A and B are shown apart, each in its own frame.
Chain A
Amino acid sequence: MSSAIAAQDIHKHFGPVPANAGASVSVQAGEIHAVVGENGAGKSTLMRILSGMYAPDEGSVQVNGRDVTGWSTREAIEAGVGMVHQHFMLVPTLTVAENVVLGHEPKKGIRLDRATAVQKVNEIAARSRLSVPAEKLVSELTVGEAQRVEIVKTLYRGARILILDEPTAVLSPPEVQDLWQVLRQLRADGGTIVVITHKLDEVMEISDRVTVMRQGRTVTTVNTRETSPAELARAMVGRDVALPARGGGGGGGVGDVALALRGVRVKKRDGTIALDGINLELRRGEILGIAGVEGNGQTELIEVIAGLLQVSGGDLKLFGQTLEGDARSRFDAGIAHVPEDRHYRGLLLEYTVEDNLILGLQHLFTNNGLLRRNAIHQNAVEKVKDFDIRPPRTEGTAGTLSGGNQQKIVIARELTREHSVLLAAQPTRGVDVGAIEAIHTRLRAERAAGKAVLLVSADLNEILALSDRIAVLFRGRIAATLSRDEADQERLGAYMTGAASVGSA
């Protein structure tokens, strides 16, 4: 067998951040090839380079033995490489058929030949057993249907090599099974398929070979039949295979219930259900870790507690008092919040370090409506020192600091806010190793001080290293709650991927 598509030693930087630093992959014709790795391992970047969306800084890309490094999406499409993105590339106001043919439309003169478009879509759908409603508007489709449209789109352009980025992230279990059927059918027809995922059960089920990535590099490529989820997990996570030191704490210092969620339901803006009856108790002096594949309701869980989303059912209580109102009132009630995306929520990059250190606290640094600049400055000087924020200039803008130091600003602000509960969402994402340690130490100190900490992290090691108890979120529900002693990578992984579940509660 020959290599259908291959990348050699790819390097790609976005600004100062390397997304790929020596990534290689070689996919043979006619196989289903899984690319796995943790979030931020550089999988998507590598695939976008293969499909012509990005040009690599270094390294080369070959398709069927031909060097195509730095090609465009159009060239990739012409060479038979199609990509199904995690965020669908479909125009909601156009019909399925129009979306499929966009860019390569059947024409009658200058007119779009709709009948032919519909007919071709139906032909492809029948041939590859993908049922899609050719004349419906894309905005009216279910997620599963939309994904099938994406696949039909690539097939319409004659794709023989199909790259799917996290294709199951948004699908229900029966839809996932349908997708596997489709992919197997495509393989049987001689197609080559690359699937990016971080769900190991999927890898085992669908792929012929697996490439594991970590921190922008390729770690290994193995035959699926000759490996195990545990071995893959080890490769994904890297040297820290031995689980990190226990968080300590255990049951000893745990106090009364600080935060209680009962039957909490949250709807997203588009009306779909993000949280579906969450019951959760968070006690003083404990760190409760929330594990789960991203997009299973973690964001909404944090935001509903922080007052950025409103419940559509159930209630939240803080020390027995029902929580209501907006973000300000939650802060005032004693909930500190390290948001998951510091650039989106946590910081104003064009504000100074000083001003960022009072975001959400501005009313405490105000006198008769006027900002107390001296107090703000004094506060910043202390925080910069205490939290070792570098460079130690309080008047520089936050945007010029490194990710780790930006995160320290957020942490410094939230930890010194008067609080009994700390929500820490992805507290070490995009942060360098030194800063990770410092942040972990702070979180442990919080627990020791009797605070109730809710930790959400996509990094299982972090969850395992810090938590006293671990709850697994799966499709907006708590799939299981385990004590630290019961939890390990494999068990958590099983709950995270829905492979195991504890009833429907």
Chain B
Amino acid sequence: MNPLSFLGQTLRIAVPYLFAASGGVIAERAGVVSLALEGFMLSGAFGAALGSYYSGNALVGILAGMSAGLLCGMLHAVATVRFRADQVVVGIAINLLVVGVTRFFLQLAFDSSSNSPRIPGLSTAGGGLGNPMIWLAVLCVAATGFLMRNTVLGLRMRAVGEHPQAAVSAGLSVGRLRYVAVALSGVLASLGGVYLALDQHQFTDQMTAGRGFIALAAVIFGRWEPVRAAIACLLFAAAETLQIQLQGAEILPTQFIQMIPYLLTLIGLAGLVGRSAPPAALGRPYEG
């Protein structure tokens, strides 16, 4: 096995995880549970397919995908922040909603129940790693780390997720900060879907296939730290790569490789690998 090709493939597989986990870290640190990452991603993939197909330009596809993610993020934020709806329920519902909406519009736009026609993607010159979105994902992780650790906005979002009353007493608006965090998480996670659609040159029904939940597992396993979450993403992606590259060698059945992210997260939650404490106000609507 070629170590370089292994690393390259790991990185490519990790791209959607890196985007979505970055979004997940931001929303959860601001106190909003991120069960809708899957839906955000899928909306991004579909938006990208629509935009790219009709404009013939992948960049338009990226923008359309991000807009779709923003829209879903805002829906999530309005329901959970403005109306204080249960974040878990809304997250799950958004996942179901996006599956339904994308199927509906797949019919409406492309008259198909399974996939879009071929769409323009991004240049992959330079063999596999030439796709600029790969490097955008890496940049996104760094930017999220910078945002949460070094910026004023990050500081405020962390305060809101940890002790909203303290934030209010400092003159901050819990609602506004959570809106920003959830909208941002929608946009970032949607980029994960955009990457998938452009990489495969089409949208297929439910093409995110649970990747949003792997990203969520990475967020929790990474203890809500952007860089640690990114490392978790790479770890999970490496396991998948191993599985692909060792196909036929049957060292470990596929299904067990698929379980790795979730099992590791469960073990982490049981406190067996250090204590993982979620943001203190996670999941709790703020009663202003």
Complex contact flag A–B (Cβ < 8 Å): yes
The reply to whether the CB of A93 lies closer than 8 angstroms to some CB of chain B is yes
Q: Is the CB of B162 within 8 A of A102?
A: no
Residues in B with CB closer than 8 Å to A94 are: 155, 158-159, 162
Stretch of B18-26, B104-112, B163-171, B204-212 on the interface side:
B163-171
Most chain A beta-carbon neighbours within 10 Å: one of B159, B169, B280: B169
Which chain A residue shows the least CB distance to B151?
A: A110
Known: A89-B163, A93-B162, A105-B155. A112 touches B150 (CB 8 A): yes
Which chain A residue shows the least CB distance to B170?
A: A103
Q: In the bound complex, what is the Cα–Cα distance between A359 and B92 (angstroms)?
A: 36
Chain B residues touching A, majority SS: helix
Restricting to A341-376, which residues have a CB under 8 Å from any CB of B?
none
Residues in A with CB closer than 8 Å to B166 are: 88-91, 99, 102
Which chain A residue shows the least CB distance to B156?
A: A102
Which chain A residue shows the least CB distance to B159?
A: A91
The reply to whether the CB of A5 lies closer than 8 angstroms to some CB of chain B is no
Q: Which of B150, B155, B169 contacts A89 (CB 8 A)?
A: B169
Most chain B beta-carbon neighbours within 10 Å: one of A91, A99, A105: A91
Which chain B residue shows the least CB distance to A99?
A: B166
Convert A205-233 into 0s and 1s, putting 1 for each residue whose CB lies closer than 8 angstroms to a CB of B. 00000000000000000000000000000
The reply to whether the CB of B153 lies closer than 8 angstroms to some CB of chain A is yes
Restricting to B166-190, which residues have a CB under 8 Å from any CB of A?
166-172
Residues in B with CB closer than 8 Å to A89 are: 163, 165-166, 169-170
A88 CB to closest chain B CB, in angstroms? Answer: 8
Contact-size category for A: 20 to 34
The reply to whether the CB of B152 lies closer than 8 angstroms to some CB of chain A is yes
B151 CB to closest chain A CB, in angstroms? Answer: 5
Q: In the bound complex, what is the Cα–Cα distance between A90 and B154 (angstroms)?
A: 16
Chain A residues touching B, majority SS: loop
Which chain A residue shows the least CB distance to B146?
A: A111
Residues in B with CB closer than 8 Å to A105 are: 152, 155
Q: Is the CB of B168 within 8 A of A73?
A: yes
Which chain B residue shows the least CB distance to A53?
A: B169
Which chain B residue shows the least CB distance to A82?
A: B169
Which chain A residue shows the least CB distance to B173?
A: A74
Q: In the bound complex, what is the Cα–Cα distance between A93 and B30 (angstroms)?
A: 13
Known: A73-B169, A91-B163. A102 touches B155 (CB 8 A): yes
Q: In the bound complex, what is the Cα–Cα distance between A99 and B172 (angstroms)?
A: 12
Restricting to A56-90, which residues have a CB under 8 Å from any CB of B?
72-74, 77, 83, 85, 88-90
The reply to whether the CB of A255 lies closer than 8 angstroms to some CB of chain B is no
The reply to whether the CB of A491 lies closer than 8 angstroms to some CB of chain B is no
Q: Is the CB of B171 within 8 A of A74?
A: yes
Q: Is the CB of A77 within 8 A of B150?
A: no
Q: In the bound complex, what is the Cα–Cα distance between A92 and B281 (angstroms)?
A: 12
Q: Is the CB of B168 within 8 A of A111?
A: no
Which chain A residue shows the least CB distance to B153?
A: A110
Q: Is the CB of A102 within 8 A of B167?
A: yes
Residues in A with CB closer than 8 Å to B168 are: 73
Q: In the bound complex, what is the Cα–Cα distance between A153 and B166 (angstroms)?
A: 11
Q: In the bound complex, what is the Cα–Cα distance between A153 and B152 (angstroms)?
A: 17
Residues in A with CB closer than 8 Å to B155 are: 94, 98, 102, 105, 112
The reply to whether the CB of A107 lies closer than 8 angstroms to some CB of chain B is yes
Q: In the bound complex, what is the Cα–Cα distance between A83 and B159 (angstroms)?
A: 18
Q: Is the CB of A93 within 8 A of B169?
A: no
Q: In the bound complex, what is the Cα–Cα distance between A90 and B166 (angstroms)?
A: 6
Residues in A with CB closer than 8 Å to B158 are: 91, 93-94
Q: Is the CB of B169 within 8 A of A85?
A: yes
Q: Is the CB of A112 within 8 A of B169?
A: no
Q: Is the CB of A90 within 8 A of B163?
A: yes
Known: A90-B166, A91-B159, A94-B162. A77 touches B171 (CB 8 A): yes
Residues in B with CB closer than 8 Å to A103 are: 156, 167, 170-172
Which chain A residue shows the least CB distance to B277?
A: A93
A436 CB to closest chain B CB, in angstroms? Answer: 31
Q: In the bound complex, what is the Cα–Cα distance between A453 and B280 (angstroms)?
A: 40
Which chain B residue shows the least CB distance to A95?
A: B155
Which chain A residue shows the least CB distance to B147?
A: A110
Q: Is the CB of B169 within 8 A of A83?
A: yes
Q: Is the CB of A107 within 8 A of B171?
A: no
A155 CB to closest chain B CB, in angstroms? Answer: 14
Convert A108-130 into 0s and 1s, putting 1 for each residue whose CB lies closer than 8 angstroms to a CB of B. 00111000000000000000000
A-B contact pairs, 6 of them (CB 8 A): A89-B163, A90-B166, A91-B167, A99-B166, A110-B152, A112-B152
Q: List 7 extra interface pairs beyond A74-B171, A102-B159, CB under 8 A.
A: A77-B171, A90-B166, A91-B163, A93-B162, A94-B159, A110-B153, A111-B151
> Which 3 pairs from chain A and chain B are nearest by CB?
A103-B170, A74-B171, A89-B166
Binding site for A on B (CB under 8 A): 150-156, 158-159, 162-163, 165-172, 280
